[in-house]
C-alpha cells in the first residue's frame, strides 16, 4: 500500500501571547493520501492556516508528529526543512508572493534555479508550464503588468513546475473574482489529475470546497468533520 503523502499524529500547537497560552490546534490526526485534492474549511481562527504552516515546515508543532513523503518534518533542522520545501512542497499563497522585479518566466524558473537545474532545461520547463496555465505570450511581463488572476496562475506554475509531491494553497481564490476563481480551480484539478500532484487547500470559499474531493472541517483547532465528496 502506498504511504500517504502527509501524516499527522496527535499534533497540537500552542502560541504564547503576552504570557497567555493560546491553543491553536488540539490533537490533530490526519492522513492525506497521494493524489488527494482536499480542502481545510472552517471559520477564521479555526486553525486552517496554522495547520498548513505546520505541514509545510514553516512552523513547528508543540506536540505530535508530522510526516511528508515519509520524512518527519517536526524533527528536521533548518537546512533540511529548506531542502524539503525546495524539492518536495509547492506553496500557493493568497498574496501570490511573486518577485516584482522578475518576469513571469523568471519567477517560475526561480525555484528550479535554486535546485541547480541548468538554464536551458529550466527555461524550457517554465515556458511549457506557463503555456499549460494559459499564459503563453505573457512570459516576459512582470507581476505589475499582469491581472490578479494571471499573477495567481504564475504562482501556480511556480508551485508545480518542479513536480513536488505536495502543493499547499492558503486561500488561493481570496483575491479573485468568481469566474477567475473557477478557472483557477479547474486548472488545479487538471494539474492534480494529469500530474498526480497532491493538493491541500485552506479556504472560506464555497467554490473551492465544491471543487475539492475531500472536505476537512476545523473548529476551535480541532477536526470536527472529514467527508469525501468524490
CATH number of the domain to which 142 belongs: 3.40.50.300
Q: pLDDT-derived band of residue 2, with 50, 70 and 90 as boundaries?
A: low
Place of cell 511549457: 128
Q: pLDDT-derived band of residue 187, with 50, 70 and 90 as boundaries?
A: confident
What's the average model confidence in pLDDT over 206-214? Answer: 93
pLDDT greater at residue 1 or residue 64: 64
What's the average model confidence in pLDDT over 61-78? Answer: 93
- Which strands, in side-by-side order, build the sheet including 222-228? 89-93, 166-170, 198-203, 37-41, 214-219, 222-228
pLDDT, position 60: 93
DSSP result, 92-159: EETT----TTS-HHHHHHHHHHHTT--HHHHHHHHHHHHHHTT-TT-TT--GGGS-HHHHHHHHHHHH
Cα maximum dimension of the chain: 54
**Sign of the alpha-carbon torsion through 176, 182, 185, 190:** negative
Is the pLDDT at 1 greater than 70? The verdict is: no
160 occurs within a structural domain: yes
7 occurs within a structural domain: no
pLDDT, position 149: 85
pTM score, whole prediction: 0.89
179 occurs within a structural domain: yes
Is the pLDDT at 102 greater than 70? The verdict is: yes
Under 8 Å CB-to-CB from 30, ≥6 apart: which residues? 6, 7, 8, 11, 216, 223, 226
Give the domain extent around 209.
34-61+77-228
Q: What is the pLDDT of residues 158-167, one digit of tens each?
A: 988 888 889 9
What's the average model confidence in pLDDT over 5-19? Answer: 92
List the grid coordinates of 104.
513571469
d(CA 95, CA 117): 27
19 occurs within a structural domain: no
Q: What is the pLDDT of residues 14-43, one digit of tens each?
A: 998 888 888 999 999 999 999 999 999 998
27 occurs within a structural domain: no
28 occurs within a structural domain: no
29 occurs within a structural domain: no
5 occurs within a structural domain: no
d(CA 197, CA 160): 8
Is the pLDDT at 74 greater than 80? The verdict is: yes
Q: Name the domain count of the chain.
A: 1
Q: What is the pLDDT of residues 128-167, one digit of tens each?
A: 989 888 888 999 999 999 988 889 889 888 988 888 889 9
d(CA 134, CA 180): 12
Mean of all residue pLDDT scores within the chain: 90
Amino acid at each position: 500500500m502506498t504511504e500517504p503523502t502527509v501524516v499527522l499524529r496527535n499534533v497540537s500547537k500552542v502560541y504564547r501571547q503576552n504570557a497567555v497560552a493560546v491553543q491553536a490546534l488540539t490533537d490533530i490526526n490526519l492522513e492525506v493520501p497521494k493524489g488527494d485534492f482536499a480542502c481545510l474549511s472552517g471559520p477564521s481562527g479555526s486553525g486552517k492556516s496554522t495547520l498548513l504552516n505546520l505541514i509545510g515546515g514553516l512552523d513547528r508543532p508543540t506536540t505530535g508528529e508530522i510526516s511528508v513523503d515519509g520524512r518527519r518534518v517536526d524533527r528536521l533542522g533548518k537546512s533540511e526543512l529548506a531542502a524539503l520545501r525546495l524539492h518536495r512542497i509547492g506553496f500557493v499563497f493568497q498574496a501570490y508572493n511573486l518577485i516584482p522585479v522578475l518576469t513571469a518566466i523568471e519567477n517560475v524558473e526561480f525555484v528550479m534555479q535554486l535546485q541547480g537545474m541548468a538554464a536551458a532545461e529550466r527555461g524550457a520547463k517554465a515556458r511549457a508550464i506557463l503555456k499549460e496555465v494559459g499564459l503563453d505570450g505573457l512570459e516576459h511581463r512582470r507581476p505589475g503588468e499582469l491581472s490578479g488572476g494571471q499573477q495567481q496562475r504564475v504562482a501556480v506554475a511556480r508551485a508545480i513546475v518542479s513536480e513536488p509531491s505536495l502543493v499547499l494553497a492558503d486561500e488561493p481564490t481570496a483575491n479573485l473574482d468568481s469566474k477567475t476563481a473557477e478557472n483557477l480551480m479547474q486548472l488545479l484539478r487538471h494539474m492534480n489529475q494529469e500530474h498526480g500532484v497532491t493538493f491541500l487547500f485552506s479556504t472560506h470559499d464555497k467554490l473551492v470546497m465544491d471543487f475539492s474531493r475531500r472536505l476537512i472541517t476545523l473548529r476551535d483547532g480541532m477536526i470536527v468533520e472529514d467527508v469525501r465528496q468524490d
